[in-house]
Chain A
């Protein structure tokens, strides 16, 4: 039986018999961050049904992971693409970030322009 003693300021003591460890935690209930023995765990709330999760996955895969600049668009509307093909190349924090096709499909629309600063969460390409 482990007991958790809050020591304040995000510090917690985990007491289990004579064994004692220190953990750190921060965040809110939607995403709580815990540091324990060199590892970081993010404990998030549930996000809904499987089908929604799948759609969300594609949505995420085709969006910028962070604010970034579009440096190249490698496809055009109507082009058939295979899973893993590079569709868009972004740049952020001195790094190029390729946006790859999460599955085989046909490009239905492209929602960005070269040089544009794009925000995370918004799909940059639509696949049929």
Chain B
């Protein structure tokens, strides 16, 4: 087993990996940019080294800076987390050349599954169905339009390289195609340095259901069931859960087998996720291969909660050459887990990302609640990185109990100093369609306005009294409080 691991990431996932290292008796080494010198991942790791300025391209995305840190700290392995360099085959190769183990798939598997074109080829080999789509050969606007016409509107235009919904555009008619193509290209270039676009037929009202797989170097591949991630905003997941209400045991088995087949065809190793679009529910539903995420997912905790395994520890063990700790028949789901992602954003202002100080930040602590976070009270949320602050995972015997538990915990999760989506999350969790499990990937598009309608309420008198008490002025009664405030305006809730 490794003695020391470098975590090439920041925020909650870096903290998550540090915890796993500690439990395994492995020393953890954090890296940080100037913006993160006092961040929780730096404070919790056994070692920490600065790798560059705040800009991610010169720090967390710099292969050179990370490998220099790996050499200086004499680590034996690097855990890339998610995002940043986690799916970068060049980084995996550079690690190999430096003599450091990349905790993840081989560079070849990253190449194979990282491009949508070759990933589809692999899925085809594995005889897993796919939504009809094409990569126009010459990539001209005319060819993209011709491909869209051939497939039939509505279509989805997206970067061939990529993920996380970046650059993905729904186009319903030919008229809106040029603008969407231009924007998708620009975002693809900006995010991935490659403007190649892929056009795909859009399935209306699909669910996003993904299967967690795991493979070792000894030929064993297992799946760890599904995660339903249909609650998305602009292709960015907001709430994930397992099991999915749309799956029956037979469908689950078929999807699990398909995911394992894809992993085998890709000669995959370590943790991965095969994403499917699900059309319909139950035994009659059809599923289509979407893409494979060649890394640990943000939403991995819901799988851990219902299966009882530790995916990060398994990642480290498998990377060290150990066989998978479980066989398929040993894995089962028990209970229900729901994860909500807490973003620094203002739902009332088009979910604009928010930066600022965390004046007050207190995580709830109660049975069945797990909070994976990378921030702390007194810290600063900067504009440089992803606005996700934390993930709250509620686990209970049933879906409804887990849902209620998540609501109860969010109502005891004060975050002050910048706006977050916490009230929006509560609105989703209590929406009749979510309560009924009747969601698809367009849920937040169709219900978003209703979900946000209530977010702008004026503060109740009690909130005004508390604000007044904060300033030190004496406050005793309601009538006392209202007068001094009549000259104030502009508050929002």
Contact = CB atoms under 8 A, between A and B. Distances in A.
Given A2-B478, A35-B414, A35-B416, A43 B186 contact: no
B423 interface: yes
Given A40-B423, A66-B353, A24 B460 contact: no
**Residue from A32, A33, A42, A93 whose CB has the most chain B CB atoms within 10 Å:** A93
Contacts of B417: 26-27, 33
Q: Is the interface of A mostly helix, strand, loop or mixed?
A: strand
Interface stretch (B105-113, B216-224, B314-322, B482-490): B482-490
B466 A72 contact: no
B183 interface: yes
B462 interface: yes
**Residue from B362, B420, B461 whose CB has the most chain A CB atoms within 10 Å:** B362
Interface stretch (B122-130, B196-204, B380-388, B396-404): B380-388
B465 A37 contact: no
Nearest to A3: B476
Nearest to A16: B462
A67 B461 contact: no
Nearest to A5: B469
Contact of A44 (B187, B190, B491): B491
Nearest to A94: B386
A2 B383 contact: no
Interface string A86-118: 000101111111000000000000000000000
Given A34-B463, A94-B166, A71 B489 contact: no
Contacts of B491: 41-44
Contacts of A34: 416, 459, 463, 466-467, 470
A4 interface: yes
B interface residue count range (under 10 / 10 to 19 / 20 to 34 / 35 or more): 35 or more
B352 interface: yes
B31 to A, nearest CB: 20
Contacts of B384: 93
A23 B191 CA distance: 41
Interface in B343-361: 349, 352-355, 359-360
Contact of B462 (A2, A47, A72, A94): A2
Nearest to B351: A95
A4 B465 CA distance: 7
Interface string B402-421: 00000100111111110110
B430 to A, nearest CB: 10
Nearest to B344: A93
Interface in B84-128: none
B487 A46 contact: yes
A6 B469 contact: yes
B464 interface: yes
Contacts of A38: 407, 410-413, 422-423, 426
A44 B353 contact: no
A39 interface: yes
A122 to B, nearest CB: 15
B459 A43 contact: yes
Nearest to B477: A1
Nearest to B419: A40
A104 B464 CA distance: 39
Contacts of A29: 471
B489 A46 contact: yes
Contacts of B461: 2
B383 A33 contact: no
B475 interface: yes
Nearest to A69: B190
A75 B468 CA distance: 47
Contact of A10 (B360, B462, B475, B488): B360
A2 B465 CA distance: 9
A27 B463 CA distance: 14
A12 B354 CA distance: 26
B416 A24 contact: yes
Contacts of A37: 411
Contact of B466 (A23, A68, A97): A23
A4 B383 contact: no
B416 A40 contact: yes
A14 B466 contact: yes
Contacts of A96: 183, 187
Nearest to B383: A67
A32 B475 CA distance: 16
Interface of A: 1-4, 6, 10, 12, 14, 16, 21, 23-27, 29, 32-47, 65-68, 71-72, 89, 91-97
25 contacts: A2-B461, A2-B462, A2-B465, A2-B478, A3-B476, A14-B465, A23-B462, A24-B416, A25-B467, A26-B470, A27-B470, A34-B459, A35-B360, A36-B460, A36-B463, A38-B426, A40-B419, A40-B422, A41-B493, A42-B419, A47-B490, A66-B353, A66-B355, A93-B353, A93-B387
Given A34-B416, A45-B490, 20 more contacts: A24-B416, A25-B416, A25-B469, A25-B470, A26-B416, A32-B467, A35-B360, A35-B414, A36-B463, A38-B410, A38-B412, A38-B426, A40-B422, A43-B491, A46-B488, A46-B490, A66-B352, A66-B353, A72-B186, A93-B386
CB-based closest 5 A-B pairs: A38-B411, A35-B414, A26-B359, A41-B459, A33-B416
